[in-house]
Structure formats: structure tokens, C-alpha cells
Amino acid sequence: MKNTEQFKGQKILVLGLAKSGYAAAKLLHSLGAEVTVNDASPLENNAEASALLKEGVRVICGGHPTDLLDEDFTVIVKNPGIPYTNSMIQQAIEKKIPIWTEIEVAYQISEAPIVGITGSNGKTTTTTLLYHMLSIGNEKPLIAGNIGTVACSVAQEAKEENVIVLEASSFQLMGVETFRPKIAMITNLYDAHLDYHGNFEAYSQAKAQITAHQIDDDFLIYNADQAPVREIAARSNAIKIPFSVEGKKDYGISADEHEIYWNGEPFISRSVIKLPGKHNLENILSAAAAAILLGCEKSAIIDVLSSFTGVKHRMQFVKELHGRKYYNDSKATNTLATKSALAAFDSPIVLIAGGLDRGHSFEELRPYMDNVKAVVALGETKKRFAEFAQSCGIKSVEEATTMEHAVQLAHDLSSEKDIILLSPASASWDEYASFEVRGDKFIDAVMSL
């Protein structure tokens, strides 16, 4: 670790626990800070708070008393999930107390360079791709953030020879003050988390924080096919590495239907790529660009692209059975994600969709349903989704009672060379605790056929 003396004696409030708050509090306490932890959950049901209390950390549980801020804290380290409308945060802003998330702490102590990856979609897939490329290329990567271990826990173990591959959300990026990744990456920007940010402009500003403190020997890899991302890139001081899936470009990394190009020169044939879909091509280009900048061997990049079939529950190839290929895209909890999934395949699709009914329309999917030959609808939205599918001219539409039933119906409606795709366009909470549980049920049902 570097800069460890700076926290000694500082009065720091860690607001909200869970994994990130617990890790930050434990680290800052070990570095000599006067840490106070405040968490809304009562102490008796709060394992993290109880563990910190035993280590001598001051813990206040069961609510957020605003008079706590009268104690002249030098900084607040906030759990990313706590909104800025929280009364404690509002008071802290009025008092001009800096509000960080734990990735700021991670950056300040890390000896290793950081690759920071953000975007509306594709962060996890891109992070995973890059991590595997660097691992095979012997570049000693460590993975952190939403996909792996809490960033400040990874940073305290990292050495100069490591590279931290960090998936960063807009919630985390709102709480940075000096955070400066050596390589920053913006995969794309769509409307997301507007309940937290209020509007797209505020959401975009949060994402822009990934490059806000970069200087002229850092790198920004960005989606040149999207105007909002280009606008962020135009304000960056970093060396700009654009990526495009809209054909060969002379600079950065790009792709047409046959080839991936680096600075306009053929680099890797697309025939080696196993991961389907235009949206995944964006992830591949951005990960490959970062790997190249970090000195990764071309052979390592090819090894990953020729073997990687997807992150679990995100366009994950499950199995080929009786000439049909099964894909698990349970992470598609909205129509935007399902649009990308439907656009990924040329073969006829039997679509399994439906879930929690939030009253949202499926109309966005209509232009993407031409290649869908049959639909199996399930969950709370099954009747609405079945009616939507029929309005798209799909003749084979069934309603399922369980995931097992849905998979069997999909198999019965399919033919050789078809794709059977779980991409629900709905959240999972009508029947399942999470999209992961839903995806696992799908995998189990496929394996049981």
C-alpha cells in the first residue's frame, strides 16, 4: 500500500455497511483513522457491525442520527446504494464534508495501476474478458468492484507489478475526488438508474467521473458509435482510444463483419470469436484495446476470444442438445437487454420471456421479433407478453407454469439449428429471489431434458 499515513488520526464516518462499507471501515481503522460506522440495520441483526465493534471500531446502528455530523468528520465514506437525497448526506453536503465511495480509498492506497470499466451495459462481460486476457498473458491482474472483491480490499494487497481490473458503477463514481485510472473505459450509455440520478444528464455526469481526473499520459477507451459517450470523451485529457462496431476505422479499435482492426490494420479475424451479438462485440473491442495497451500478447487475446462463451446469466451458452443451442440471458431484466439478445442471432429463436409485472410496455421489442419463431411466456407478465407476441404475428405462443415447463415447451416448439433463449425482459422477483436464481433454474431445466 502507498499513502497509508494520510488517514492516521482522521475522523472518518463510514455510512452504510454491507461488503463495501465493512471493508472500508476495517481498512481505515487499520490505517489509524478514528472510524465511526453508522448503519441503519439494528446491531443484533448486523454481523458486519458486530465484527467491527469487536475490533474496537465505534458503531452506531439502527438509524442515521443527523446530529452525528456535528462531530467534525473530515470525510464520509458512503455505501454506494445510499442516495444523495438521504437526510444525512444532504446535511453533509451543506457542511461541505467530502463524500467518497470506497473506490476513492482504493485508488489512494493502491500501488498497482487501475483499469476502470464503466457503462450502462457490458461492464461485467468486459471486465471478465480483460481479466482472462491479462491472466493468460501473465500480466498479473486482480479483479475488483461489482464483479469481484471490494476494491479497497484488493488495493491493499496489490503490488506495482499487478493490474487492478475494476468494474465501477455510476453510484460508485459519484463518490470520487482524485480517482484516476491509468486506463478508463466507457462501454456505452443508455437510460438507467434514473430513479437514483433523476435524469440522464446526471447519470451521464456520474459516468464521466471515470475520466475526470485523468491526465495526458492516461488512456480513455470509449464507444465512438454513441454521441453521449463521444461528448464525455471530448472533455477528457486522456489519450483517446475510440472503438467502433460500425466498420473499419483508421484509429483506435474497430470491426467489420470479417475482421477486428487496430489503428486501421487487420488484427484478429472475427471467425475466432465465440461470444455472439453486436453488443458483445463492443465488449470484445474495449477489452482487447485495454489488453493491447497493457502489453498483452495477441495470442492471449485470441485464446480468450476463441473460448469465452459468456458470463453466467449474461448471454451464457449453456448446451447444445438435439441440434438446438440453449442460451441463458436471465440478467435481461428489461427490454433494452432483451433487444440486444434478440439482435445477437441469425438463426430462428424460441424465446422464453416474462417475469415481474411492473406495468412496462414490451413495444420496444417489436422491431426485434422478426426472427422469433415461437414464444414461451412465464411469470406475472406471461399473459401480457403472450398477447404482445401474438400481435407481432408469432403463431406459436405458449404460457408456462414453471421454468421446467417453459424449457420443455420451448424444446417442443423448436427444430434443429434453432436458438432457445431465456431473455425475460422482466425482473425476476415475482417467483425468484434474483435473476441468478432464475438463470440457475433455467440451466437445471436444460440439463434435465
Contacts of 213 (CB under 8 A, 6+ apart): 176, 178, 179, 180
The reply to whether 211 sits in an annotated binding site is no
CB of 25 within 8 A of CB of 35?
A: yes
The answer to whether 338 is annotated as binding is no
d(CA 9, CA 15): 18
For 22-178, list the strands marked E by DSSP.
Answer: 34-39, 58-61, 75-78, 99-100, 114-118, 141-145, 163-167
Q: Is 87 flagged in the annotation as binding?
A: no
User: Phi and psi of 60, rounded to 5°?
Assistant: -125, 115
Dihedral of CA 120/189/442/392: which sign? positive
Tell me whether residue 41 is annotated as binding: no
149 labeled binding residue: no
Residue ranges of E strands in 40-152 = 58-61, 75-78, 99-100, 114-118, 141-145
Angle, helix 278-293 to helix 123-136, in steps of 10 degrees: 40
Q: Is 124 annotated as a binding residue?
A: yes
Q: Which of 172, 173, 126, 167 is nearest to 149 (CA)?
A: 167
Residue 292 has which C-alpha cell?
493491447
Q: Is 120 annotated as a binding residue?
A: yes
CA distances from 345 to 340, 407, 426, 438 (A): 10, 19, 20, 22
Binding site as annotated, residues: 119-125
Annotated binding site for ATP: 119-125
